[in-house]
Structure 1
Amino acid sequence: MKHDRDFDPTYGTAVELLPGLRRLTAHNPGPFTFFGTNTYLLGTDRLVVVDPGPALPDHIGDIVKAAGGARIEAILVSHTHVDHSPGARLLKEQTGAAIVGCGIHRAARELLEDEINPLDASGDKDYLPDRELRDGEVLQAAGLSLETIETPGHTANHLCFVLQGEDVLLSADHVMGWSTSIVAPPDGSMRDYMVSIDKLLDRPEQTYFPGHGGVLRNALAYVGELKRHRLNREASILEELAAGPATIAQIVARLYVEVDPALHPAAALSVFAHLEDLAARGLVSAAPGLSLTAEFRLERRTD
């Protein structure tokens, strides 16, 4: 499920996508960021900056330059991965604008016994908002109204934002144009992610501006594809376990045979997220206990 083959990041230059809505892509390309993190500038003579990205002084300078003489009234943050939120502190230092949006970084669940969080370094532990937004709350800034949509899954504190009066949703990393979102325990939760997918499917917005990659048109059809992709992956995992007990490494080797082995660790975290959800639903069990190295088996149910 990859799109955006022709995406142009135009580093250093803000690209107008709609009147009063521009995208500025940070120069932090990588296997989990595509060409880089998208920062959005909303407004004209007054601005809201959404996801100022990593702590890259050059990118913060580009944001200030793109703002020109317009006052930045708020810095809106969707979630606390280090490619999205650390730049907020740098931008606040330069502009005095308040940091609003998601709460502090937290995991979706407590660590299991002897578990080490493989994505610990990806969390921005220093993030502290001036104001935390909750589900349904509307931010009024720069003459705009932005509705908060809580969408946990990719992270426990993930938010999307709806630009009221427009058919527009800022989807951050919950829905991306270039790839499916990473859902990796304990930071992420597959059950929360699927609930959040259904939450967006119940909304009317058809244009998404994601945290990585290009604009998504006819977005609800794409979100439906994401849901089917996850359900198909779940079904494939259950089929593997129907043949007998298996470890995550064995499942990944069979299901991701055409994927670069360098990406297998990330695939393992995705499979773990599915298995964690399946275990919570009583469909699989793990011995000696739920972990990345456990042996999983299908639960034979009689009901």
Structure 2
Amino acid sequence: MSDLNATPNTPSTVPVVRFAPSPNGLLHVGHARSALINWRYARAHGGIFLLRIEDIDITRTRPEFEQGIVDDLVWLGLKWPEPVRRQSEHFEDYRAALDELRKLGLIYPAFLSRAEAAAIVRRSEVSGRAWPRDPDGAPHYPDIDRKRSESERRRRIAEGAPYAWRLDMECTIKGLDAPLGWRENGAGPEGETGYIVAEPAVWGDVILARRDVPTSYHLSVTVDDALQHISHVIRGQDLFAATSVHRLLQEILGLPEPLYCHHDLVRDRQGRKLSKSDGDTSIAALRAQGASPADVIAMAGLPPAS
């Protein structure tokens, strides 16, 4: 990890890294890899390793999963300062960022249900017109709500229509003063490294606040990294493309830009990244089978602890 020695654009005088799991399932070997890479980097450079609990998905998170995360990480030998930041306890921070974006005129209320949006996409594709999709394969949100008048939006809200908040991607990109990118000290899925040109437009009008929660992954992770003075974002290659959205939000909200390092993933025999549904690769299952921390470290593709 010596290629992370560049100076980030943050107020930190020492490296600050974080491991930020969601308590909606058991940690697996891939999570162990990411946590250990962050932990080892902090130790090697006199930095700080933070644990953050990303629990904004209130319908899926469970206290027992959070406790399992803590138990697994302690078993692996990791330590972190308390208190741990839980996103569910900081919704006001995300509301404040959302309010700023609203004042800038960069977000709009999105009223279409998933079924309604899917039906529009399906009709377009059946008629032979290709529909743009994001790097994860999800179709872009239709532009119907973006084009609604303010009076129509106010009327629907007053009538109690449920809505989420989405970023007006085209408008936001037009407002940039200069091209956007980031310093990549790891590598993307195709081996990309060095200065990476951000391409947020490929994500379409991303959701920034949901109907039942005043934030989304993209918004909360960007705000949290700034508030916690994260200097080095070290995470898996599956989040490489999402960095374009995070850099865009940092730019328009005036937040600092950390260094990024995307590491390769632990994959199964079919070459797929591990999932929380793969119970046999969970750290808890491996512990129950008699595996040692050294065994899990080896399975994560890392050298033994020094």
TM-score band w.r.t. shorter chain: under 0.3
Structure-1-length-normalised TM-score = 0.25
Which structure: greater helix fraction?
2
Which structure: greater strand fraction?
1
